[in-house]
């Protein structure tokens, strides 16, 4: 992110102010001390820097592309546009796990009653 910031001619203070993110938080992201910024923060920084969010992540873009296909990137962007945060994602994942558990239990009961 630092390279992009410098190419745009922003100081850390300017980027922080324009993005409505604290100066210390921007600095921590750049130094790698903050490795898990929220999607909302990344989106604000990306908008200010006029780059896609995936340009701000620490991993090289090619590795990121291997891990995230177009559909995932689209879903993440949609979630960010709708202000879905990490807590919401975790809640949804737990809900899906619970629903899968219930379905497995239901199937096990059916197997048990037909045996």
Per-10-residue mean pLDDT of the chain, 115 residues long, equals 89 95 92 86 93 74 60 82 86 90 87 73
What per-residue confidence (pLDDT) applies to 64?
A: 55
Domain that holds residue 19: 2-59
- Per the domain annotation, does 102 fall within a domain? no
Cα dist from 113 to 103, 107, 108, whole Å = 15, 10, 9
**Residue 4: closest CA among 36, 26, 37, 33:** 26
> Whole-model pTM?
0.51
Element (H, E) at 77: helix 70-81
- Per the domain annotation, does 45 fall within a domain? yes
CATH number reported for the structural domain that contains residue 48 in this entry? 1.10.260.40
What per-residue confidence (pLDDT) applies to 74?
A: 82
**Structural domains in the chain (count):** 1
- As a whole number of angstroms, the distance between CA 96 and CA 104 comes to 12
Q: What is the DSSP letter of 84?
A: -
């Amino acid at each position: 992110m630092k390279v992009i910031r410098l190419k745009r001619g922003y100081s850390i203070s300017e980027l922080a102010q324009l993005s409505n993110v604290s100066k210390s938080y921007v600095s921590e992201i750049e130094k790698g001390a903050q490795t898990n910024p929220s999607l909302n923060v990344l989106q604000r920084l990306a908008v200010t820097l006029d780059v896609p969010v995936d340009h701000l992540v620490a991993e090289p873009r090619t590795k990121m592309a291997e891990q995230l296909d177009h559909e995932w990137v689209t879903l993440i962007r949609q979630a960010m546009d709708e202000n879905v945060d990490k807590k919401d994602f975790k809640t949804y994942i737990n809900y899906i796990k619970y629903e899968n558990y219930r379905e497995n239990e239901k199937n096990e009961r059916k197997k048990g009653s037909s045996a």
